[in-house]
A and B are shown apart, each in its own frame.
Chain A
Amino acid sequence: MITKITKLARISGAIGVAAFSAALMLSASPAAYAGELTVYTAVEAEDLKKYAAKFNEDHPDITIKWVRDSTGIVTAKLLAEKDNPQADVIWGLAATSLLLMKSEGMLEGYAPKGVELLDSKFVDSSSPPSWVGMDAWVASVCYNTVEAGKAGLSPPKSWKDLLDPMYKGHLIMPNPNSSGTGFLDVSSWLQMFGEEGGWTYMDGLHENIARYTHSGSKPCKLAAAGEIPIGISFAFRGAKSKAKGAPLEIIVPSEGVGWDMEATAIVAGTDNAADAKTLVDWSITKKANEMYNAGYAVVAYPGVAKPVKFFPENLLEKMIDNDFEYAANNRKRILAEWQKRYDGKSDPK
C-alpha cells in the first residue's frame, strides 16, 4: 500500500513537476553568469556595502550578490543546499561553520595568492587550504554602567565573577544553539575550564541568566538599550554601540575570552571558479585586511591592525588558544548537552 502511494506520488510528481517547470522556465532568471558572484556572508549588514565597494575598486567587472544572515542561518542554508550549492564564495563566516562545511566536502581547496603572508593561525591546515581567515571576533561582556548602577551592581572582572548571586536576572547571553557567538563562549569555557569544569561553570551561570537570545549581537544591543545591565556578546558590537552613545563598558574577563574567526572559502562546484578565486585572492590582501580592521582589532595580515575606537586594549592577549577542530567536531555533542541542561529549564513552573 505504502509503496503504491509512494509510486503514485512519484509519478504524479514527475508529471506535475515537468509541467510546472515547462511553465515556469520562461519566467526564470538565468543561472549565475560570469562577472557575478553569489557570496554568502554573516558580516554585519552595515559593512557589506563597504566591502563590495572596496573590492570593486580593484575589480569593477565582478558584481557581488550578497546573501547575508546570521551565522546560524547562513550555516543552515549552506548545509541545506549541500547537494545543490547556490553560493560561489563564502566571505565572512565563522571558521567553526566552515570546518563543518569542510567535513561535508563542500569547500574547494585553494591557496590564494599571498596566503604565505598571513598569520598561519588564520589559514586552514590542509594543503591547499580549504579556507582562509580574515579577522577574529572576540567575546566580551557589555556592561551598561547606568543600569548597573541603578541595580547596585559592581562590574565583574572575570567570568567566575559572573556567578555572584548579585547578578541574578541581570545577565543575558546568546543561545549557542542559534548563535555563533553563544557557541564560541561555550566552547571557550569548556576549553579553559575543562569539560567538567566548564559545565559546572555554566550550571552556575545559568542561575543568573535572565534569558538566552537567538542572536549574538542582541545581548550587547539590549545592554546598550538598558533592557539588561549585562550582556555577554562580542567586543566589536560593544564598541559600535558605545560609539553610538550607549553608556557601555566593554569588559574582557581575566581568564581569557573565546573567539572565532571570520573566514573565506570557495564553495565546491561553483560554476564561476575564476571570479571566485579573484575574490578570495583579494580578500586576503593588505587592503582588505585594513578594511577588516575598521571593526575588528585582530586581522589575519600581520602588522595591519590598528587600534579600533572603544575596543578594549588588552583583548589580544586575552584571546585563548582556540582549538577550532575541537569546537567543530564536538559541536553537535556540546549543543545537545547544552540544550539538555538549560533549554528545558525554561518551562513554566
Chain B
Amino acid sequence: MVDLSLKTAAVVKVKPRAGRDAWIMRAFILVIGLYLVVTLAMPLYAMLSKSFNTYYFDLARYEVQINEDGDWGETIDVAALNAASNKYSRDQLRTSSDGRLSIVSMLENFSFRAKTLYRLRNVHASGSFLSGSELVDDTNWHEFTSNEFRRVYLKPVKTTGLDNFRQYFSNPSLFNSIFNSLFIAIVTTIITITLAFTFSYAIARSKMRFKGGFKVIAMAPILVPSLLPGIALVYLFGNQGMLKFLMGDQSIYGPIGIIAGSVFFTFPHAMIIIQTALSISDARLYEASDALGASKTKTFFTVTLPGARYGLISASFVVFNLVITDFGLPKVIGGQFNVLAVDIYKQVIGQQNFEMGAVVSVVLLVPALFAFAIDRIVQKKQVALLSARSVPYQPKRNRNFDRLMFSYAAIIAALIVGTLAICQYAALIKFWPYDLSLSLTNYDFDVMDGGGWGSFYNSLKLAALVAVIGTVAVFTGAYMVEKSQGMQFGRSLFQFLAMLPMAIPGMVLGLAYIFFFNSPNNPLNFIYGTMIILVICTVTHFYTVSHLTALTALKQMDREFESVSASLKQPFYKLFSQVTVPVCLPAILDISIYLFVNAMTTVSALIFLYSPDTTLASIAMLNMDDAGDIAPAAAMGMMIFYANVAARIIHHFLSKRIYSKTQAWRTR
C-alpha cells in the first residue's frame, strides 16, 4: 500500500511554517544585524566613499573680462587663461576641500598697481569664488580693480576618483608613516612576544613562588589607557627624567618611546594567549622526550616551542594589530616620528582634510585586516589543539631554574608596578622638577583642558552603559545566531559583521562615524554629540571579542536544549532566561568587565566623537598632555586605573557570589 501512494503522490516541497519563537528570533537577529549594519557597515562605507572624494579647481566654471584701456575685452574662460599662461598643470589644480587658488597667478604681467579693471563671474550657480573673504556664488559679473583682483581666490569643486590615493603615495612625508608604523609594530611584536613568552613559561613551567601575584600584576597594563606608559616614560627618560642619564644621546620622544610604551601595554594581551597555549601542551610529550634522553634545550625546541606555536603566532598578530592601530601612545611620546594612526588625527584635526584622513584610514586598514585574518586562521587551529585530549603538564621543582624564573618575573612585575608608581608619584608633585613638594593641585581637573572631573564621571557612565547595553546586545545576538534555525545567509552575514570590528582600527571607526552620523541627511544624526553615539561606537569597537566569548560559552551548551524546550511547548525566552543565561553567567560577567575596562581606557575611536557634555577621562588625559599639563594627565590616568581596579574587584566578588548561587550545580 505504501508503494502505491509513492507513485501517485506529487512531489511538493514542504514549506516549514515558522513558529512564534522562530519569528521572534528572526526579528532579534534582524535587529542586531541591522545594528551592525548601521553602526559598522554603513559608516565604513561612508568613509570609503569619502576617501574617493577629490577636489579640484574647475577653471571652466569661471569667465573673466579684462579692461586694460577703457574697453572691455572679450569674455575668456579661466581655463583658457590658464592654458595661455601655462601656469598650472592638471595635477597642480588638485587640492582639498579648503584649497584656494589665486586668480591673478594665472595672469601674465599682472601688477596690482596697474589701472586695469577686471570682471569675473561664475558660469554656473554652483561655482564660487572669494573676493577677499567674501563668498560669491551668484552668476553675475563682479568688477574689480587690479588691487582688488589680487584678493580674488577660486574655490575647488568636488569630484570622485583615486586622486587622493595618488597624492598620498606621491607625498613621502605621508607614506613614510607606513614604514614607521610597520617598524614600530614589528619591533614591538618581537620584544613583547619574547618577554611575554618567557614570563608565561615561568608561570607554566616552574615552581616559583608568588605565581598568582605575578599574574595579577602582569594584567595591570590592561587597566590603563595606552598613553599612560608614555607619560611615565616622559618622567623617567624625558629631558628632566629621573633616569635621563640612561638614555645617552637618544631621545625618548620617538621610536624608542613608542616601542617601550607599546611593549608595556601589549604585554598582558600577549601573555594571556601564550599562557593558554603553554598550559594545553601535553605532559606525555615531555615524558617521552625525557625517556629518550633529550637535553632540556632540545626538549624546549622540539616540544615546548612547537606546542605553543599557534599561541605565539596568534599573540604576535594581536600585538602587531594593537600597536599599529594605537593612537594615544605615539601621540604622547612619538615626537616627530609619524605613524599612521596619528596621521589620521593630524589630517582631520590639524588640517581639516577629511578626505586625506579617510585615505590614511584605508591604508591603515590593510595591515590591520591582514593581521586579523591570519590570527583568525591560527586561532581555529589552536582551538582544535585545545579540544584534543591531553594530560596537563605538572612542573617539577628545580631550585636553580625556579630561582632564575622568579628573578625574571620579579623584574617584569617591578617594571610594571614601577611604571604605574611613577605616574602616581608625578601626579602628586606640585611642579616638576622645580617644586617637588606634594600637593593635590594636579587633581584640580576642572581648571584644565579635557572636561575636568566631569569627564571622569562621564567615563564611568559610559563604561557602565557600554558594559550593560553591550553585554545584552552581544550575548543576545550570539545566542540568536548560534541557536536559531534557517536563514543561513543572514546568519553568515551576521557572523561576518560580528567579526569585522576587531579588524577595524578605532581611529578609522571614529572617523567613519563622523562621516556617517554627522551627515545632515542621516535621520540618526541627532545622536551625534551625545552619549548614545559614544556607547554605540564603543560597543561596536569591542564587539568581536565579546561575541567570541559569548559564542564559546554558548557552544558548550547542549545543542538539544532548544529542541527539548520546544517539544515541551515552552517559549525560547523561557529557556533563555532560566537556563541559558544562568549557565552562561560567568561568561556574561567576563564580557561586561571586558567592555567596562575597554570603555574606560579607549581613546582612538572616541577622540572624534566626544562633545563638551560627553568629555571622557581617557581623552581628557590626552588633551591635558597635549596642552602640556602632563602631571594632571598622569593623575587622570591613575584615576582610570583605580576605577578599573575597583570594577575588577567588584567583578571578582560578584562572580564569586553568583557562582556560589547559580552555579551550585557545577559541584557534584
Asked if A and B touch directly (CB within 8 angstroms), the answer is: yes
* A-chain residues with CB within 8 Å of residue B97 when the two chains form the complex: 79
CA distance A241 to B176 in the complex (A): 37
* A-chain residues with CB within 8 Å of residue B524 when the two chains form the complex: 17, 20-21, 24
Whole-angstrom distance from the CB of A240 to the nearest CB of chain B?
11
Which A residues between 222 and 237 are near B, CB-CB below 8 angstroms? Answer: 222, 224-228
A221 to B628, Cβ gap below 8 A?
yes
Say yes or no for A9: interface residue by CB 8 A criterion.
Answer: yes
* B-chain residues with CB within 8 Å of residue A314 when the two chains form the complex: none
Say yes or no for A102: interface residue by CB 8 A criterion.
Answer: yes
Report if A76-B349 is in contact (Cβ < 8 Å); known contacts: A126-B133, A325-B132.
yes
Report if A84-B519 is in contact (Cβ < 8 Å); known contacts: A45-B450, A225-B433.
yes
* B-chain residues with CB within 8 Å of residue A214 when the two chains form the complex: 331, 346, 350, 626
* Contact digits for B579-601, partner A, Cβ 8 Å, 1 yes 0 no: 00000000000000000000000
A245 to B435, Cβ gap below 8 A?
yes
Give the one of B102, B173, B433 with max A CB within 10 A: B173
Say yes or no for B382: interface residue by CB 8 A criterion.
Answer: no
* B-chain residues with CB within 8 Å of residue A187 when the two chains form the complex: none
* B-chain residues with CB within 8 Å of residue A333 when the two chains form the complex: 99-100
CA distance A95 to B34 in the complex (A): 44
Report if A325-B518 is in contact (Cβ < 8 Å); known contacts: A18-B523, A177-B346.
no
* A-chain residues with CB within 8 Å of residue B663 when the two chains form the complex: none
Which A residues between 293 and 349 are near B, CB-CB below 8 angstroms? Answer: 325, 328-333, 335, 339-340, 343-348
Whole-angstrom distance from the CB of B271 to the nearest CB of chain A?
29
B336 to A346, Cβ gap below 8 A?
yes
CA distance A264 to B176 in the complex (A): 39
CA distance A215 to B629 in the complex (A): 11
B628 to A218, Cβ gap below 8 A?
yes
Chain B: interface residue count, which band? Answer: 35 or more
* A-chain residues with CB within 8 Å of residue B522 when the two chains form the complex: 17
* B-chain residues with CB within 8 Å of residue A1 when the two chains form the complex: none
Say yes or no for B618: interface residue by CB 8 A criterion.
Answer: no
Whole-angstrom distance from the CB of B470 to the nearest CB of chain A?
16
CB-based nearest A residue for B49:
A6
A177 to B352, Cβ gap below 8 A?
no
Give the residue of B348, B349, B431 whose beta carbon is less than 8 angstroms from that of A244.
B431
* Contact digits for A1-29, partner B, Cβ 8 Å, 1 yes 0 no: 00000000100110111111100110111
B98 to A331, Cβ gap below 8 A?
yes
Give the residue of A16, A73, A104, A343 whose beta carbon is less than 8 angstroms from that of B37.
A16
Give the one of B135, B238, B350, B629 with max A CB within 10 A: B350
Whole-angstrom distance from the CB of A29 to the nearest CB of chain B?
7
* B-chain residues with CB within 8 Å of residue A210 when the two chains form the complex: 251, 253
Whole-angstrom distance from the CB of A99 to the nearest CB of chain B?
5
Say yes or no for B42: interface residue by CB 8 A criterion.
Answer: yes
Whole-angstrom distance from the CB of A146 to the nearest CB of chain B?
7
Whole-angstrom distance from the CB of B33 to the nearest CB of chain A?
9
CB-based nearest A residue for B357:
A76
A17 to B354, Cβ gap below 8 A?
no
Whole-angstrom distance from the CB of B342 to the nearest CB of chain A?
9
Surface stretch bound by A, among B318-326, B525-533, B565-573: B525-533
Say yes or no for A274: interface residue by CB 8 A criterion.
Answer: no
Report if A75-B352 is in contact (Cβ < 8 Å); known contacts: A211-B253, A226-B240.
yes
Whole-angstrom distance from the CB of A82 to the nearest CB of chain B?
9
Say yes or no for B130: interface residue by CB 8 A criterion.
Answer: yes
Surface stretch bound by B, among A64-72, A194-202, A249-257, A279-287: A64-72
B153 to A329, Cβ gap below 8 A?
yes
A46 to B448, Cβ gap below 8 A?
yes
B354 to A45, Cβ gap below 8 A?
no
Say yes or no for A158: interface residue by CB 8 A criterion.
Answer: no
* B-chain residues with CB within 8 Å of residue A289 when the two chains form the complex: none
* B-chain residues with CB within 8 Å of residue A188 when the two chains form the complex: none
Whole-angstrom distance from the CB of A245 to the nearest CB of chain B?
6
* B-chain residues with CB within 8 Å of residue A104 when the two chains form the complex: 135
A17 to B628, Cβ gap below 8 A?
no
Say yes or no for B612: interface residue by CB 8 A criterion.
Answer: yes
Report if A212-B336 is in contact (Cβ < 8 Å); known contacts: A329-B130, A332-B95, A344-B173.
yes
Report if A80-B354 is in contact (Cβ < 8 Å); known contacts: A325-B132, A325-B133.
yes
CB-based nearest B residue for A224:
B628
Say yes or no for B449: interface residue by CB 8 A criterion.
Answer: yes
CB-based nearest A residue for B430:
A245
Give the residue of A45, A76, A222 whose beta carbon is less than 8 angstroms from that of B449.
A45
Say yes or no for A100: interface residue by CB 8 A criterion.
Answer: yes
Which B residues between 314 and 346 are near A, CB-CB below 8 angstroms? Answer: 331, 335-338, 346
B354 to A332, Cβ gap below 8 A?
no
Say yes or no for A208: interface residue by CB 8 A criterion.
Answer: no
B183 to A348, Cβ gap below 8 A?
yes
Say yes or no for A161: interface residue by CB 8 A criterion.
Answer: no
Please name 7 pairs of A and B residues whose Cβ atoms are closer than 8 Å in the assembled complex, sorted by A.
A24-B524, A49-B446, A70-B449, A73-B349, A343-B338, A344-B171, A347-B179
Q: Which residues of B contact A (CB under 8 A)?
A: 31, 34-35, 37-38, 41-42, 45, 95-100, 102, 130, 132-135, 137, 151, 153, 155, 171-174, 176, 179-180, 183, 234, 238-240, 251, 253, 255, 331, 335-338, 346, 348-352, 354, 431-435, 446-450, 452, 514, 518-520, 522-530, 532, 611-613, 623, 626-630
Top 10 nearest A-B pairs by Cβ distance? Answer: A221-B628, A344-B173, A178-B350, A346-B336, A84-B520, A218-B628, A46-B447, A177-B350, A16-B38, A21-B523
